[in-house]
Amino acid sequence: MGKEWTAVPLTIARYRVPAQIVEASVCALRDGSAGTREWVILWQGRILDETTAEVTRVHVPRQNTGPLHFNISIDERLRLLDDVSAEGEFILAQLHTHPRQAFHSEVDDRLAIPKHTGAISIVVADFGVRWNGDFLATSVNRHLGAGRWHELRPDEVRELLEVIP
């Protein structure tokens, strides 16, 4: 057993994402959105060391969604948090679809589910219909703290998200 982490360290600079998690995310977003509504999924993961985290699981929360929004009830958020913390892991990232362009809206800034500094929020265009799992085709955003988010440049995306076999 490694060190037990009580929070996601601010120093995480790399997320290892197993290819099968990427694939599951592509399918969950495309199927959930069904070409007509926004859809959100969450990545659970564990901290490997001060600079590296690894995604271990995709969660598809119960959600109310429409063409321009998604909402997860407080009860569902708490249930998820309980499940994830019981395993000594964290919600590292959220991924959601937009009808057209991928960008982090003001609502996304305010209502992102992972809220820790460094949290990742990925937005997928076109209800995920065309997304093949290439993160360079998405909007990858990182929480700088205090509700401020930064959209990563392609070179930053490549540094941050490492797809592993």
| Residue 46 or 104 having the CB closest to Zn ion | 104
Q: Other CB atoms closer than 10 Å to residue 68's CB: what's the count?
A: 11
Residue 68: CB minimum distance to Zn ion, A: 8
What is the smallest separation between the CB atom of 70 and Zn ion, expressed in angstroms? 8
CB of 47 to Zn ion, least distance (A): 27
DSSP helix/strand/coil, 92: strand
The CB-nearest residue to Zn ion is 108
Residue 84 or 125: which CB sits closer to Zn ion?
125
Is 36 or 105 the residue whose CB approaches Zn ion more closely? 105
Which residue ranges make up the site for Zn ion (CB under 5 A)?
105, 108
| Residues 111-127: b if buried by 16+ CB within 10 A, e if exposed | ebbbeeebbbbbbbbbb
Is the CB of 44 or the CB of 65 nearer to Zn ion? 65
Minimum gap (Å) between residue 18 Cβ and Zn ion: 25
- Kindly report each contact of residues 107-110 with a partner whose C-beta sits within 8 Å and lies 24 or more positions away, as own/partner: 107/69, 108/141, 108/149, 109/147, 109/148, 109/149, 110/147
Helix (H) or strand (E) holding 125: none
